Every structure is written in structure tokens, then in C-alpha cells.
Amino acid sequence: MTVIAQRVRRFVPTGRRQETARVVCPVDNWSFAPKFTNGVCPLCGYKPEGVEFHAPFAARIDWFWPSMAFMIAASIAMGVLVILAYGHK
């Protein structure tokens, strides 16, 4: 592999996923990834010690009102463009 290819490879994603931490629940002996189960065991609700889970920002927001505001702004902008096009000679 050339030097240029090695340097480019550092910045280009390889498509490999990062390994997620897996925890074994002592109650039901179930292996789970706290990242995908909100930090608790999906079967019994066991929360492992030392594992912190914080949902990403995009998952914590209720996107209904921001999307409604965007749709209203887009509708107003399209209405203004129609009025400007109608009045243009």
C-alpha cells in the first residue's frame, strides 16, 4: 500500500462498526447491550453499575413542533413566491 493510500485510509470510514459493550444480567443470565436498551436489561429491568447511558440529543427531542414550524415557514415562503410571481410583469 502506498503512503498516500495509508494517509487517506485514516480519514475514510471503513464501514466497520464499533463494538458495543455487552453486559450479562445476573438475574436472568441474558446478555444485552445497554446502548440499545436504554441502559437496562430488556427482560427484567436490571441496571448494571458503572454503565452510563445517555440518549443522543436527536432522540431526546420531540420533533413534532420543530417540523410544524418548518412546514409553516416553508408554506409562507411559497405563498410569498407565488404572490411575487403573480405580480411580476
11-67 confidence digits (pLDDT tens)? 666 555 555 678 899 999 989 888 888 888 999 988 888 877 777 788 788 999 999
Shared-domain flag, residues 19 and 50: yes
42: nearest Cα among 22, 57, 59, 56: 22
CB atoms within 10 A of CB 32: 20
Shared-domain flag, residues 20 and 50: yes
Residue type, 39: G
Query: For 69-81, what is the mean pLDDT?
Result: 98
Is 8 part of a structural domain of the chain? Answer: no
Q: Which pLDDT score, from 0 to 100, does residue 16 have?
A: 54
Shared-domain flag, residues 65 and 50: no
Shared-domain flag, residues 22 and 49: yes
Shared-domain flag, residues 20 and 43: yes
The model's pTM: 0.46
pLDDT at 4 over 80: no
Domain with 28 in it: 15-54
Shared-domain flag, residues 47 and 19: yes
Structural domains in the chain (count) = 2
- Rg over alpha carbons for the chain, rounded to the nearest Å, is 25
pLDDT at 74 over 60: yes
